[in-house]
Chains A and B, each alone.
Chain A
């Protein structure tokens, strides 16, 4: 496979469930990101991993827990979510370095519905 892949593509979960989202990139990048996209709101950056270390955490609730075991894989562990957490969760990857041009490439997203 090429590019950035995400599984599952759709997920419905209850508020007491625990689930995980998976992202894999095949682009040789060394930075990975989780974004949340809700209706009529800008993309919200949740987590950034660069060289497998978390470098940004934009005050995301603890019910979201990221994991980056290596530069190609990224997980988002979910537990006791709220209905307002229903959204499209997007994974992205980019090259990380001192250069200016390190654009992000997005996966297809996971459409999450919390019931």
Chain B
């Protein structure tokens, strides 16, 4: 059973701080990693994807991947109240079309 784990939170950070969201996965064959943001009552929205070890930056967001440790994280710099949402980590292997999602981490950015 392939699993993706996330701390359910809530993770509370003050406005302007760095929010750090973590995700671990069980399948060593995983090749592609995705972060989605989901506001309450809305569908998931893709933020970033990463497939190589290291960091990938896009604006205020940085995804970090460590395949040896089976760990992927998302950093949000200069957090804003509008970043308050649930962040879903998703993992995909290289063979099928199966995306496995984690339970999500609820982030609350306090003004």
Contact = CB atoms under 8 A, between A and B. Distances in A.
Interface stretch (B42-50, B59-67, B70-78): B42-50
Interface residues of B, number: 24
A53 to B, nearest CB: 11
A48 B95 CA distance: 13
A100 B51 contact: yes
Interface in A66-110: 88, 90, 94, 96, 100-109
Given A43-B101, A101-B32, A101-B49, A107 B96 contact: no
Contacts of B32: 100-103
A88 B42 CA distance: 10
Interface of A: 31, 33, 40-43, 45, 48, 50, 55-56, 88, 90, 94, 96, 100-109
Interface of B: 4, 31-32, 34, 36, 42-46, 49, 51, 88, 90, 94, 96-104
